[in-house]
Structure 1
Amino acid sequence: MIKFTQSMVQMKIFSFTILKRRAPYVRVILLTLLLLPTICYPAKAQKITQDNFNPIEMPVGHYIRELKALDDQGLLSIVEDFKATSIDPNQSTTLSLDECISVAFANNPSLKSEIELLKASRDRLIAASRSWNPTASIRGDSSVKNRTTNEITRAKQPNLSPSKRGYTRSSGSTSSYPQNLIGKLDWIFLDFSRQPKINAAASNYSAKRYGFYLASRRLIFDIQDIYYQLLATQELINSYKIIAESYKNIVLFNDSRFGAGRTHLGEVGQAHAQFFSTLSDLTQSIERYYALSNKLAKLVSLPGEPLILTEGENQFAGEWIFGLKESIDLAQLNNDRILVALETAKELNSEGIAQINQTLPSFSLTSRAILENSSSDSYKKIFTSGSSNAGSNSSETRRNFTFNNNTSYDISAGIFFNWRFYQGGVNDALASSAFARSKSEEFKAKDIRDELVASVRTSINALKSNRLKYISSDAAAQSARISYIASMARLNAGLSDVTTINQLVRLYQSSIRTEINAIQNYNIELARLYFDTAIWPKEAEGLALELLKATGLPR
């Protein structure tokens, strides 16, 4: 029996060491402190085998030395150092739930992405709506053409030497400046596929708007979920710390009783085992708090992403004022997931109608105005030099300049139609595909309605059950506390044993944990009801609409 007790203690410490080795990031100094006992105390590094549970008689002093070696590790102070390192106020910031939600709406990149998608959908709707407008265009061109000539003609005078014969030299240039300006106005005043396309774009914008609301509500719910878990975990850490200190006192008390011969080794080992097991629970809660704080920091998206510490206490967040039927009706009527699916179904249905209507003719009005202008100028110079006889010489210069300008215009207008009455059945196939996807979205909306009915029923029932759990666990904790006080008095009088004390402390610990979790689960289910019924909780009223207004988007 003594060997079994010692082996159980070793197994508890071995489990605690493994948990420590697998803990998330811890400073090098703390890791060294955790590994040092394993190096200094070889029994902790041994593997537990069946031989450890065989009843081998050993001197009592051997087991006392083992327990003393475990005590000398100072595991409680090591765990406290781990807590101080993991939850360092100097590397963290304390925010209330309201502040977390407000900061998240200002910084969260996922929410900003939804805003940009909403802007893109709005612009597509604007573009589709403007397809009713006529289009106008102007085209013009202008050019310059220039021609230059030079010509020399010599007279035939055989009786004169070549140097004295007469000649005519002419030079000139001609320039033309053609210009034209064409204005065109087109208006497709009748297109049977245009309005369905506009309707599809409008439904897409509505779906994206509901998608933004859905993303906002999901962000709020995720923050509430993690925040309530953090509050509960913080209270668990405080409770485990108090219980660990209580077990430490029981360990010291049993050690003194054992030294006085008033108890046996089994009770001493049992007290140590409960103490170290509580330290393991405490370490696990610290690790959980650190992980949850990191998740909350990611959602809030603070600059630098420091850890976020909670503000306030773990208490009931409020009451749900609606009954079951009202809650189900609200969820089926207002839930954004349903509205997104329905608007998507409308969009796809309109796209199918547009595909069918493209097989109908479209009518357009086209008018055109053409203005043409052609101007030209020419310049010519003629120089004549010649001799009629050997004793006379004459010359003559003539200049000529002309300018022409012609302008004309033409205006025409007409009504035209374009009818692609056969496209090989492509439009029919595309329309059928769109209608099928539209039906799929309608069935998806129905499936979401059924899912919400189950979720709302579960959440409302969970509110009641967690209230009852809290009341019963609180009564159990108070009863265990009273019994613990009475049993400690009996133990001091030698009328009770440590086993009874340990059972009462475990019962108290279990009741406290159930009580804390009941509050946490109640608050999470309450937040889920707000999410399912699309009601903004008081911490987030108006934030989504303010964000839409700030970005210039209509509701």
Structure 2
Amino acid sequence: MPTVQANPGTSVGQLSGQHSLSAEQQADQLLARLNAMREKIDKSARKISLDEAIALGIRNNPELISAFRSIQDYEWQLIAAQRQWYPTFAISNGAPTLGLDVNTYITKFYNDPFRTSVSTTPGSAIGTEPTSISQYTNTLNFQPNASISWNFIDPTRQPDINAASEALRQQKLLFEVSARDLILNIQTSYFALQSTRQLIEEFYNIYDINRQLLEVNRARYEIRLVSMLALAQTQTQLYNQLNQLLGYTKQFIEESATLAMRLGLPVEALALPDEKANLYRDWSMTLPQTIDRAVESREEILASLAAAEEARWDGISKINSYLPIVLLYGEGALSRASGVINGSPGLDNTRSEQLQTVWNAAVGLGFEWTWDGGVDAAAARSDYAQEEMERSKAEMNRLQAVQQVRSSFGQYETSRVAVDSARLAYQSAQVAQEAARARYEIGLGDITSIVQTIEQLGTASISLSDSILNYNRSVAQLYRYSATWPGESDQLVRQQEKSLR
């Protein structure tokens, strides 16, 4: 690439207004600005290998952490369901448990043959009014009450536990899905950055070729050895290469931001590949072996089956709610009252002060049965329908797994051929443009041939980069779609699980 000094903040309008600069010098100014943007990212970014990127993502990605917290949520739901086996214990109280109790009451006696009625009003007839007695109670009370019960026959308990267990199993499988998706996304971003950086380097070289050719044509034009058409073609070619570099630089910035997001890096941090684009790995399994592994191991299939089992047990629990519950019940109560009990207002109630203690206890079997009008029966039918839906989803996931494996395996095999073909095409394009330039320099060729061969070199560079990218993506997808962990990623996921607990 030609050495150019330019202010990266210079606008295109300012450049176009500088009539003293030639077309190639203006292009150099624009290229310098693009190069400054790319170098700024390159210098500030951390250079990491693919294995390091996967380890960073597994450790930092918040989406994976969220998926693990969901597992913990369902673990506690299972524990809550299992604790239905435990007896329940309650401590209640009187009114109040500890406090003052004051009662005042009046008793009037009518037609009591064992009492002598007396007149309480002067001049009135004897026996016209009943005798009345006023009494009161003023005590300090302590009245605790405790009860314990155990539903030792509860038809809904074990189905609830089984449903919670299947729900937890589903969440663990979905966590594996999240981890595999994260690894695939990191690999895809990493390979894309490698590919884009390779294209940028290739097109810088192509730009350099065009830049040198433009200088030659300008010198020849000044001595009338080439026409304005030849000069304009070279300038157009130069700007076309510059526009392609602009697009790749924009793509490079976007992909670096995407990789940083998937790695869960801090706001100010970036990461870039520390190695050039190259073929990732070979896939050792055959297509039938890969399909068999996918069908047996894909967590999406197993998660749908676990969801179906959860729905089935939920339905059984609702149906069983119509069966009776047999329980063992016991309770005990203490009531202590200290103070005046049945005292007479206005009199000396010293002899009425008492300490009264009452114990109550009961133990035995209990029986509960409820009828809700068929609400739970209808809800159970809904659960059974959901069970069938999840089983159909599992079959759909199985078909999708087979389709994904077939597609990725086909891309893997075709991309292996494409890489070899693209390399040959790239080598031929290099030879062709060098030969065309050599012929042009000695006056045997024309500018159109050079422009065409340079375009062919650019096309061959893109084809080679794309074929390597497609190969790497296909291998990464085969790992993902066959439920196979690449490298040591399985151990990294298990370590992350331990660290999050």
TM over 0.5: yes
Map 1:212-361 onto structure 2 (within 5 A).
212-361=175-324
Residue aligned with 2:11, SS: helix
Relative distance call for 1:372 and 1:145 in structure 2 (3 A) is closer
1:36 and 2:2 are equivalent in the alignment: no
CA deviation after TM superposition for structure 1 residue 498, in Å: 2.0
Measure the CA separation in 1 of the matches of 2:298 and 2:35.
41
Shift of 1:91: 4.1
Cα distance, 1:178 vs structure 2: 3.0
TM-aligned CA distance change 1:400 to 1:413, over 3 Å: closer
The 5 A counterparts of 1:471-550 are: 471-538=420-487, 540-550=489-499
CA contact (8 A) 1:247 1:271 kept: yes
User: Post-superposition shift, 1:187?
Assistant: 0.5
Spell out the pairing of 1:348-497 with structure 2 (5 A cutoff): 348-376=311-339, 404-420=354-370, 422-497=371-446
CA distance in 2, matches of 1:514, 1:411: 89
Q: Work out which of the residue numbers 176, 198, 210 in structure 1 matches 2:161.
A: 198
For residues 357 and 399 of structure 1, what CA distance do their matches in structure 2 show? 61
Which SS does the other structure have where 1:416 is aligned?
A: strand
Aligned mates of 2:102, 2:232 — CA distance in 1? 116
Number of residue pairs the alignment of both structures matches: 455
Aligned to 1:8: none
Q: Which amino acid aligns with 1:143?
A: G
Q: Which amino acid aligns with 2:63?
A: S
Q: Does 1:95 align with 2:58?
A: no
Indicate the residue corresponding to 2:77 in structure 1: 124
Report if the CA contact (8 A) 2:440-2:446 is conserved.
yes
SS in 2 for 1:262: coil
Q: Which runs of 5+ in 1 are unaligned?
A: 1-28, 42-64, 148-172, 381-397
Larger radius of gyration: 1
Task: Provide the TM-score with structure 1 as the length reference.
Answer: 0.76
CA distance in 1 between partners of 2:299 and 2:331 (Å) = 51
Q: 2:142·2:335 contact (CA, 8 Å) conserved in 1?
A: yes
Deviation (angstroms), 1:328: 0.9
Tell me which residue corresponds to 2:28. 76
CA distance in 2, matches of 1:469, 1:206: 42
| Structure 1 residue 518 displacement after superposition | 0.9
Q: Deviations over 1:273-325 (max 9, x none)?
A: 21111111111000000011111111222122433322111011111111111
TM-score by length of 2: 0.84
Contact 2:340/2:349 (8 A) holds in 1: no
Letter in 2 for 1:412: A
- How far apart, in 2, do the equivalents of 1:87 and 1:219 lie? 28
Q: AA paired with 2:11?
A: L
1:142 corresponds, among 98, 122, 142, to: 98
Q: Identity of aligned pairs, percent?
A: 27
Q: Which residue of 2 aligns with 1:168?
A: none
Larger mean CA deviation between 83-92 and 515-524 belongs to 83-92
Shift of 1:461: 1.2
Of the structure 1 ranges 104-113 and 235-244, higher mean CA displacement relative to structure 2 is found in: 104-113
Are 2:141 and 1:178 equivalent residues in the alignment?
yes
Report the CA distance shift for 1:36/1:411 in structure 2 as closer, same or farther (over 3 A). Answer: same
CA distance in 1, matches of 2:453, 2:419: 19
Of stretches 83-92 and 233-242 in structure 1, the one that deviates more from structure 2 is 83-92
Matched-pair contact (CA < 8 Å) for 1:87–1:290: no
Return closer, same or farther for 1:539/1:524 CA change in 2, 3 Å cut-off: farther
Mapped to 2, the partners of 1:202 and 1:255 lie a distance apart of 78
State how far apart, in whole Å, the 1-side matches of 2:183 and 2:408 are.
Answer: 17
State the alpha-carbon separation in 2 of the partners of residues 256 and 197 from structure 1. 87
What amino acid maps onto 2:265 in structure 1? L
Q: Secondary structure at the match of 1:542?
A: helix
Q: Distance in 2 between matches of 1:410 and 1:474?
A: 95
CA distance, structure 2, for counterparts of residue 95 and residue 325 of structure 1: 35
CA distance in 2, matches of 1:453, 1:146: 81
- Indicate conservation of the 8 Å contact 1:101/1:539, yes or no: no
Q: What letter is aligned with 2:419?
A: Y
Q: Which amino acid aligns with 1:463?
A: Y
Please say which of residues 465-474 and 95-104 is displaced more in the overlay: 95-104
How far 1:253 sits from its partner (Å)? Answer: 1.7
Shift of residue 542, structure 1, vs aligned partner: 1.4
Q: CA RMSD in A?
A: 2.6
**C-alpha deviation, 1:272, in angstroms:** 1.8
2:68 paired residue number: 115
Q: Does structure 2 retain, via aligned residues, the 8 Å contact 1:298–1:305?
A: no
